A and B are shown apart, each in its own frame.
Chain A
């Protein structure tokens, strides 16, 4: 009962349709298609392969032209350097705090709002969809520059809290829209049954809806987390030194001396690895968020 139909169609995207369809289309294995997709995967990954090589080379070899491809002693000096000579640990903590705090707040305020909207007639959701689209499309600076001005006036400029709450607001239309689509899959009769059994609206949301919405909430949570984790522009404007995040740090390392460039690469690798893990482990939820959240209105 914990599967929504949204999830079922996602499963079809990930695994390739129902067994019946699969049998019909497996007359011969698609060798050429597989080969081309394999090459494509290598091309897609090539920037990372090259970055990994560049970061694990000794500094003088990393910047050699023509490039040295295998005749060198791999080293983790760039990582050690990054850890010892910069405040990378602080920046990483800031990034994680911002991502976690903004994900929690976004879900706590987004879940009730999305539920309320899903139980209203369709023109309200149409209006919401339009607003979500418009706010998603806004030039980021049109809200972030005033936020900078306001946060200075309030004295919360350059705090992780200000950045986290700014990201909650910026991602809220998308969060609500995604969650609403999952809530809309749950039949209204269930609400009524629970209410007859004596639940209040909020008690019902907590006891009945949220357990049923597990996959949907996880999907929205992963997206909001990733959005906050990778945000550069907002962090650039709203932070200075004490709450700087890793993407901002990486950008300031560019255009500096060669060892610092290698540090930027090492920082990029460290920021990338968790995302790689998420892309594989939570693939089903990412696909669900992208396809079901997006395609359906």
Chain B
């Protein structure tokens, strides 16, 4: 393909992305060094916004909460996603039905899913989950006003929302494992558990890495689901980083854009650092292909 043709075909898309992704991003970076309100030019304040963010205990709490939820959710998703994918890999006739039901929680608006999820736990709606806990002899749990139970609720919802994705990708990986490999393991006397641990999981390493990457990126940005699940997020210390940005830079007339942008920039740096190993892997593969 000639260069001229390439640019002709690529240009409209490039224009949209340049104008609506790159330019705003540049502005965010500039804002992070400024004292600024919407609609007015800002004044340069150096690193003041960054020092403000890094010394704010509320920001620390948000980072700790976000990271803890991300790590726990990712670990659960990998283990449970793998087990369920293995199960689904065994069934044949009912598979489309099961996949269809499993997909529902993923394709649904995150916010709507979280509303439905919260009603199961809400005592105003009959408190089904607390009733079940009571039935098995447990005590009432304050799902919305107690920090740890609320964090568990958020993790449960995130797992519920992301599980279909993790399960499907792992399922795709499992289908790529050659049968000969499993049979060889059997002949060598490995039991089912050993086959999984030392044959199948190492084979689909790349797929598991991809699931980990996407899960981490998506959970670090959580925002939508906290609106119904954690209405008192700030008071009980269960604010996510994005919720914190929202409340300083946009909600209810808040206009501390400089601080909000500084936190965005810090988050971007964190994400880029995490992406580095994956980016190197991608380039290595591309080189090998050439």
Contact = CB atoms under 8 A, between A and B. Distances in A.
Nearest to A130: B279
Contacts of B245: 139, 141
B110 A230 contact: yes
A229 to B, nearest CB: 7
A196 interface: no
A251 B111 contact: yes
Given A133-B279, A137-B271, A165 B16 contact: yes
Contact of B115 (A68, A176, A265): A265
Interface string B240-259: 01100110011000000100
Interface of B: 1, 5-6, 9-10, 12-14, 16-17, 19-21, 23-25, 27-28, 31, 38-39, 84, 87-92, 94-96, 98-105, 107-113, 115-117, 119-120, 123-128, 131, 160, 163, 165, 168-169, 171-173, 175, 179, 207, 210, 213-214, 217, 221, 223-224, 227-228, 231, 241-242, 245-246, 249-250, 257, 260-261, 264-265, 267-268, 271-272, 275, 278-279, 282-283, 285-287, 289-290
Contact of A268 (B6, B115, B250, B261): B115
Given A109-B13, A123-B290, A287 B210 contact: no
A136 interface: yes
B224 A233 contact: yes
Interface string A235-269: 00100000000010011001100100100110010
Contact of A290 (B168, B223, B227, B228): B168
B227 A145 contact: no
Contacts of A159: none
Contacts of B6: 116, 119-120
Contact of B14 (A113, A121, A283): A113
B125 A62 contact: yes
B290 to A, nearest CB: 6
Given A50-B128, A66-B126, A201-B1, A126 B282 contact: yes
Contacts of B90: 25, 30, 33
B175 A13 contact: yes
B125 A67 contact: yes
Interface in A276-290: 276, 278-280, 283, 286-287, 290
A145 B165 CA distance: 29
Identify the 4 closest CB pairs spanning chains A and B, nearest first: A67-B126, A169-B20, A230-B109, A126-B286
Given A122-B290, A153-B39, A279-B103, 8 more contacts: A13-B171, A47-B160, A112-B9, A135-B21, A138-B268, A139-B267, A166-B20, A294-B210
A287 B168 contact: yes
A25 B261 CA distance: 55
Nearest to B114: A47
B178 to A, nearest CB: 11
Contact of B91 (A34, A153, A230): A34
B282 A279 contact: no
A47 B120 contact: yes
